[in-house]
């Protein structure tokens, strides 16, 4: 190689690196801008890591609740991971690492009303669901500008918001990932949601919303009002797809009468525990039954008794959780967080699913 050719190659590499750095900085500024508007103040996170950009603020309970981006250099693939109701981006860390290791830049937002020292006003806001949907749409728009391939998903409510966005917006999404996806709630929760005036009653019952509890990255309880806002999103998804709230996927006979409007036409990944009583598995089963894409469905048998929130937790995440066991009844079912015993198998299934986007 001549010295002139080598110099040109070096210049090209330098220009490419500068271009990628500029693009990452622009994405960071847009991401930060979302929270400048939401909180009124942001600051640089004290905890730093290579390739990670976080947005912190004094309004957050701690930095573990902060939204973040993992930048994967030389990658044109991007993933968005949305956390669940009452928790925070902390619970997306293990899944985000898998995606990052597979060559994805990963955007992990913080939903309005979450991760805060004070959340009473947010968790009783009549526009709460709309604020979630708007923020998710903004984040997906940002992620779309960061690459050519985009997969979107999340845990519980985050999964429902990903599906909702795909069905109702014009974003170009190549794949959807659901981890304990909230496509159905318990019979009691669904029944309560159909009572006239229940949201107003829920506001009264919720009272002053408590944000501090045994888990520094999760509120101690789900606000009843916020749960009803989630139910609205689930019902919207059912209305768009023509699905019912029938169990065990028994919705085929109702689709024609419901006038199904849209299906999932892209590859779908779902992981769910049969023992999940918070978001029963039939919701995801019904969605998959109507999906027209290539589906990967990882079902954890009921015999494992894996609780809803534990599906996305591995041993490393559990060790960093700093859960205060003295603040809960340790004999109560699902009171103590545990690592998913099949997390490594779920990871293999997810990695296999992602191969189709290479």
For 307, residues 6+ apart whose C-beta sits below 8 A from its C-beta are 273, 275, 276, 278, 333, 334, 338
Q: Please, which pLDDT band fits residue 74 given cuts at 50, 70 and 90?
A: confident
pLDDT, tens digit, for every residue of 187-217? Answer: 999 999 999 999 999 999 999 999 999 999 9
pLDDT, tens digit, for every residue of 147-194? Answer: 999 999 999 999 999 999 999 998 999 999 999 999 999 999 999 999
- Give the residue among 291, 115, 315, 295 at the shortest CA–CA distance from 215: 115
**Number of helices followed by number of strands (H, E) in the chain:** 11, 9
Q: Is the pLDDT of residue 245 over 80?
A: no
Number of other residues whose CB lies within 10 A of the CB of residue 3: 7
Beta bridge partners of 149: 77
> Which CATH code for domain 42-357?
3.40.50.1820
- The predicted model gives 58-73 an average pLDDT of 96
If you search the block for the tokens 């699905």, which residue do you land on? 243
User: Distance (Å, rounded) from C-alpha 290 to C-alpha 161?
Assistant: 18
- The predicted model gives 65-84 an average pLDDT of 96
Beta bridge partners of 68: 54, 108
Residue that wins the pLDDT comparison between 276 and 24 = 276
């Amino acid at each position: 190689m001549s010295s002139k050719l080598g110099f040109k190659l070096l210049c090209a590499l330098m220009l490419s690196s500068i271009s990628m750095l500029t693009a990452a900085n622009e994405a960071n500024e847009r991401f930060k801008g979302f929270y400048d508007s939401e909180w009124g103040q942001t600051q640089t996170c004290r905890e730093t890591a290579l390739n990670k950009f976080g947005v912190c603020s004094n309004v957050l309970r701690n930095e573990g609740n902060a939204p973040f981006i993992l930048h994967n250099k030389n990658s044109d693939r991007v993933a968005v991971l949305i956390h669940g109701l009452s928790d925070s981006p902390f619970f997306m860390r293990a899944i985000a690492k898998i995606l990052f290791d597979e060559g994805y830049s990963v955007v992990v937002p913080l939903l309005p009303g979450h991760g805060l020292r004070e959340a009473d006003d947010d968790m009783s806001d009549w526009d709460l669901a709309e604020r979630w949907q708007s923020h998710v749409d903004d984040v997906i728009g940002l992620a779309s500008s960061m690459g050519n391939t985009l997969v979107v998903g999340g845990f519980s409510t985050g999964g429902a918001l990903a599906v909702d966005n795909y069905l109702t917006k014009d974003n170009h999404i190549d794949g959807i990932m659901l981890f304990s996806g909230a496509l159905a709630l318990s019979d009691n929760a669904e029944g309560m949601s159909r009572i006239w005036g229940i949201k107003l009653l829920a506001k009264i019952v919720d009272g002053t919303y408590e944000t501090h509890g045994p888990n520094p990255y999760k509120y101690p309880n789900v606000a009843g009002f916020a749960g009803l806002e989630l139910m609205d999103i689930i019902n919207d998804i059912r209305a768009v797809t023509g699905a019912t709230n029938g169990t065990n996927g028994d919705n085929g006979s109702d689709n024609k009468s419901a006038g199904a409007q849209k299906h999932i036409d892209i590859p779908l990944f779902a992981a769910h525990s049969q023992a999940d009583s918070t978001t029963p598995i039939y919701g995801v089963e019904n969605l998959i039954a109507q999906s027209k894409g290539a589906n990967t469905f990882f079902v954890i048998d009921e015999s494992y008794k894996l609780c809803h929130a534990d599906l996305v937790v591995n041993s490393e995440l559990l060790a960093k959780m700093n859960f205060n066991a003295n603040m809960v009844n340790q004999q109560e079912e699902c009171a103590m967080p545990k690592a998913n015993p099949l997390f490594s198998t779920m990871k293999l299934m997810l990695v296999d699913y992602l191969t189709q986007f290479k």
